[in-house]
Chains A and B, each alone.
Chain A
Amino acid sequence: MSAISQFWRTGPRRDPNTIAYIVLIVVGALAPIFLQLFLGGTATFWLTVFADMGVYILLAIGLNVVVGFAGLLDLGYAAFFAIGAYTYAFLASEHGIVTPLHEAFHVPFWIVLLVAMFVAASFGLILGAPTLRLRGDYLAIVTLGFGEIVPRVFKNASVWTSGANGVSALDIPALPVWIQGPWSGDPFAIVQDFKILAPLAYYVIMFVLLILCVILVRNLHSSRLGRAWMAVREDEVAAAAMGVNTVATKLYAFAIGAAFSGFAGTYYAAKLSLVSPENFGFSVSITILVMVVLGGMGNIAGVIIGSTVIYSVIFIFLPQLPDYATSFVQSVGLSGLTQSSGDYPGIGEFISRLKFLVFGLILVVVMLLRPQGLLPSRQREQELQKGVHEDTTIVDVTAETA
């Protein structure tokens, strides 16, 4: 028991990521089977929820590249998510007819995934090129502005985007024909099956996308570029003096982060079959940032765990909180509390209004107990122990630096 509490307080000595990845993959792969076994009818509902959760995990993995690896505080990450989603809306629906183009596009989902990646990355470059010379707080403000501007543009450029109504009836993704072929004489039958099994199919697609993205990001992290990100995060001047092009390095982080967001946006739009500017507000950016920080900035496995936890709290636990409260007061014999009277709206509604207070409390408690995140990277862990070994570094503060 003390070993566990030791683990919780100080973090493990050995790298726990391998275990985390194995657990995540096994759970992810077996989840559909177990859901089917234990829940039967409602299994598809939970598969949908998990697929949606996957969108946020994907976003968090992408933001982790920007915030965790390169140390750039991006408060407008949802903008790239919106760009990815709208890319799919334009390229795969009848919507094109009502725009000045008067022509609809129906590009397959799989191709739009790649296109959206490049579109979002390009916007990352466009935003990054003039702003990445800024540091810290200033960059945060600019990205915050960008995050506010993009949904507003989609809302107000109504000739192109149908404004606040958004774009609906997006194409439903289909398996590529070459996948349908091998095990079916009649490809159209599989398309039928595919649509019937949609929640499972979306789940599988997300699972595969996630595994792919984690592998790619891990590769990046242990590469020349990953080292340069770390160096820029720690000391930009020293990194530049050692031959790292700091602006290009930060641009890479921004563009790659944006690419993941575009990826996630396309998937999200295809699954929902609807995009609307309301879905990409500031709260989305902040939620993703919270997932990254709480999970363990800079560590991919930690970020996955963080986004799973935060998603579960926000989208599963909090919405059900009023019901829990209602059934709780009824079970303890205080049914009167469920009725509204005067200003008091009844326990369900009352708790529902306190939802985000509860969420805030959960965040504060977790960050107090575990400031380094649930599963931190080794660097972060060290940084938070700053002061313990302070005597080993002697910095002459009076030294001439300019």
Chain B
Amino acid sequence: MTAVLPESRAADPPDVILRVDHVTKRFGGLVAVDDVSFDVRRGEIFALIGPNGAGKTTLFNGITGIFPPTTGRVLFQDREITGARPHQVAALGIARTFQNIRLFEYMSALDNVRLGQHCRMHAKLWDSLFKTPAERREELAVTERAMELLKFVDIERFTHTYARNLPYGSQRRLEIARALATRPSLLLLDEPAAGFTPQEKVELMGLVHKIVENGITVFLIEHDMRVVMGVSRRIVVLDHGEKIAEGTPEQVRNDQRVIEAYLGKQH
């Protein structure tokens, strides 16, 4: 797990799972994301970094349909999803977490994760009204899977606790479990380690690797460059809405514009 990842799987064809194609997002006169393009490849941990206000979360919102891009296209598994509504995006297989945790605070951890499976369930109004055997079976299966996911992110001790009463770090993990419950093939994590101690960050990155090992592509936003350098093979850097660099951690670290825009101020 801690082994250094190979620089690139040279033999593999670039199997693109998500293509962001000349995406621009304007809010009135403000250009939050300016003509950004990049590809996320299947099975990798891809990172988006940049200083505060660089447009990282805006880009996530554009991909997941919360605020559709002004111009440009988003393709997921060779399918255009630009302008699709959030629940459709989720059903197609993109799940996300939020930078400022958005759990269902007054639902138990278990219910949060069960809710995540909503779009994979089949019970119709009729089934729900009359608690048909099929509905009961489905609820059982959903509960079982929710327990597994809580165990997977290591917070099963909070199964019946209200989400808001969980410790901060566990809330972030619960959000990941809820996102995984939608059975995504691409998981977007918006600053999953924000507010974490270095030790917690290491543990979280362990979890991210575990997720990737399960065949899910991870695309994460991170503020702390050191964290990203350790896990991602490819990184895109945004600044003031523009893509200023893309490449391996080595390349990004040595990029003059990145140093000026980002690292220069930090170090």
Contact status B111-A230, CB under 8 Å: yes
B153 CB → nearest A CB, Å:
15
Which residues of chain B have C-beta atoms less than 8 A from A231's C-beta? 104, 107, 115, 118
A174 CB → nearest B CB, Å:
28
**A238 CA to B195 CA, complexed, in Å:** 21
Contact status A379-B61, CB under 8 Å: no
**Quick one: which of A238, A245, A383 contacts B104, CB cutoff 8 A?**
A238
Which residues of chain B have C-beta atoms less than 8 A from A228's C-beta? 115, 118
Which residues of chain B have C-beta atoms less than 8 A from A224's C-beta? 118, 121, 123, 128, 135, 138-139
User: Closest chain B residue to A380 by CB distance?
Assistant: B106
Contact status A242-B130, CB under 8 Å: no
Contact status B67-A402, CB under 8 Å: yes
B87 lies within 8 A of chain A by Cβ: yes
- Enumerate B11-50 residues with CB–CB distance to A below 8 Å: 27, 32
Which residues of chain A have C-beta atoms less than 8 A from B167's C-beta? 392
B62 CB → nearest A CB, Å:
11
Question: Which stretch (B2-10, B95-103, B229-237, B253-261) binds chain A?
Answer: B95-103
Contact status A399-B165, CB under 8 Å: no
Question: Which stretch (A40-48, A180-188, A215-223, A276-284) binds chain B?
Answer: A215-223
Which residues of chain A have C-beta atoms less than 8 A from B56's C-beta? 400
Contact status B100-A401, CB under 8 Å: yes
Contact status B162-A382, CB under 8 Å: yes
Which residues of chain B have C-beta atoms less than 8 A from A383's C-beta? 106
Q: Digit string of B164-176 for contact with A (CB within 8 Å is 1, else 0)?
A: 1111100100000
Which residues of chain B have C-beta atoms less than 8 A from A401's C-beta? 57, 99-100
User: Given A223-B123, A242-B115: A392 and B165 within 8 A (CB)?
Assistant: yes
User: Closest chain A residue to B166 by CB distance?
Assistant: A392
Count A-B contacts at CB 8 Å.
142
**Quick one: which of B64, B101, B107 contacts A379, CB cutoff 8 A?**
B107
User: Given A223-B128, A224-B118, A402-B58: A242 and B53 within 8 A (CB)?
Assistant: no
What size tier do the contact residues of chain B reach?
35 or more
User: Closest chain A residue to B55 by CB distance?
Assistant: A400
B1 lies within 8 A of chain A by Cβ: no
A193 lies within 8 A of chain B by Cβ: no
Contact status A392-B101, CB under 8 Å: no
A62 lies within 8 A of chain B by Cβ: no
**A31 CA to B123 CA, complexed, in Å:** 38
**Quick one: which of B90, B101, B139 contacts A393, CB cutoff 8 A?**
B101
**A281 CA to B87 CA, complexed, in Å:** 38
**Quick one: which of B96, B100, B104, B130 contacts A230, CB cutoff 8 A?**
B104
Q: Digit string of B68-110 for contact with A (CB within 8 Å is 1, else 0)?
A: 0000000000000000011101110001101111111111000
Contact status A220-B128, CB under 8 Å: yes
- Enumerate B157-192 residues with CB–CB distance to A below 8 Å: 162, 164-168, 171, 178-179, 181-182
**A239 CA to B182 CA, complexed, in Å:** 11
- Enumerate A307-325 residues with CB–CB distance to B below 8 Å: none
**Quick one: which of B53, B87, B139 contacts A244, CB cutoff 8 A?**
B87
**A49 CA to B105 CA, complexed, in Å:** 41
B66 lies within 8 A of chain A by Cβ: yes
A234 lies within 8 A of chain B by Cβ: yes
A361 CB → nearest B CB, Å:
31
A241 lies within 8 A of chain B by Cβ: yes
Contact status A226-B115, CB under 8 Å: no
Contact status B100-A240, CB under 8 Å: no
**Quick one: which of A392, A397, A400 contacts B53, CB cutoff 8 A?**
A400
Which residues of chain B have C-beta atoms less than 8 A from A245's C-beta? 85, 87
**A397 CA to B101 CA, complexed, in Å:** 11
Which residues of chain A have C-beta atoms less than 8 A from B243's C-beta? none
User: Closest chain B residue to A226 by CB distance?
Assistant: B128
A394 lies within 8 A of chain B by Cβ: yes
User: Closest chain A residue to B179 by CB distance?
Assistant: A242
B222 CB → nearest A CB, Å:
14
User: Given A224-B123, A227-B114: A235 and B104 within 8 A (CB)?
Assistant: yes
A254 lies within 8 A of chain B by Cβ: no
**A238 CA to B179 CA, complexed, in Å:** 10
**A239 CA to B87 CA, complexed, in Å:** 8
Which residues of chain A have C-beta atoms less than 8 A from B120's C-beta? 243
Which residues of chain B have C-beta atoms less than 8 A from A14's C-beta? none
**Quick one: which of A239, A241, A399 contacts B96, CB cutoff 8 A?**
A241
Which residues of chain B have C-beta atoms less than 8 A from A240's C-beta? 66, 85-87, 90
Contact status B111-A237, CB under 8 Å: no
A395 CB → nearest B CB, Å:
5
User: Closest chain A residue to B135 by CB distance?
Assistant: A223
Contact status A395-B115, CB under 8 Å: no
12 contacting pairs across A/B (C-beta < 8 A): A223-B131, A224-B135, A227-B107, A230-B107, A234-B105, A235-B103, A238-B104, A243-B119, A399-B99, A399-B100, A400-B52, A402-B32
Interface residues of A (CB under 8 A from B): 216, 219-220, 222-228, 230-231, 234-235, 237-246, 252, 379, 382-383, 389, 392-397, 399-402
Known contacts A230-B106, A240-B87, then 11 further A-B pairs from the complex at CB < 8 Å, ordered by chain A residue = A219-B131, A223-B128, A237-B86, A241-B89, A241-B95, A241-B98, A244-B87, A244-B118, A245-B85, A395-B101, A401-B57
